Amino acid sequence: MPTPDPNPLPTTPPTLAPAQRIGDAEREQAVSAMSEHFALGRLDHAELDARLEAAYRAVTVDQLVALFADLPDPAPFRPSRRERRTAARAARGAGAWPDFPLVPALVLVVAVGVLVASGGRAFFLLPMMWFWLAAGRHRWYRR
C-alpha cells in the first residue's frame, strides 16, 4: 500500500480566473510589485499613488491585471503565454481544426488509392504528398 503524501498541497499556486474576486493578499502582492516598478524608475510618484489607490479598490483579478498592462515583469496575475494560448484556443471553439489534421490525412488516403488503382504508374504522388504534409505540418500542429 502506497504511503500518503505528507504534503498534500500543490507545488505550484493555482492560477486565478480573470473575473475571480481577490482578497487582501492579492492586493498586497500587486502593491509590492508596483513599489518595485517605482523603485526602478518606471513610475513617478503621482502615477504610483493613482495605481496604488486603484489596487486597493480592485475587486477582481481583471482590475489588477489592467494596472500592469504597460509594465514589464514583475506583473502579478498576468496570464502566462501558455494560458493566453489556451484561452485563445478555447475562444475559437468548435470551428477550430481538430487535433489530428483530418484534411491532409484524407488527401494522403486518396493519393494512395489513386496509386493502387493506377497499378503503380502514379508513384510520384506519394513523395509529393509526403513533402506537402511535411511542409504544411506546422500549420496544423501550431495552435
* Per-residue model confidence as pLDDT tens digits over 117-130: 887 777 776 677 66
Q: What is the pLDDT of residue 74?
A: 82
Prediction pTM value: 0.49
* Per-residue model confidence as pLDDT tens digits over 25-57: 999 999 999 999 999 999 999 999 999 999 999
Contact 112, 126 (CB under 8 A): yes
Report the alpha-carbon distance of residue 47 to residue 67 in Å, rounded.
11
Across the chain, what does the average pLDDT equal? 76
85 versus 141: the higher-pLDDT residue is 85
Q: Which three cell numbers stand for residue 78?
A: 498576468
Cell 486565478 -> residue: 16
Q: What is the pLDDT of residue 12?
A: 43
Contact 18, 63 (CB under 8 A): no
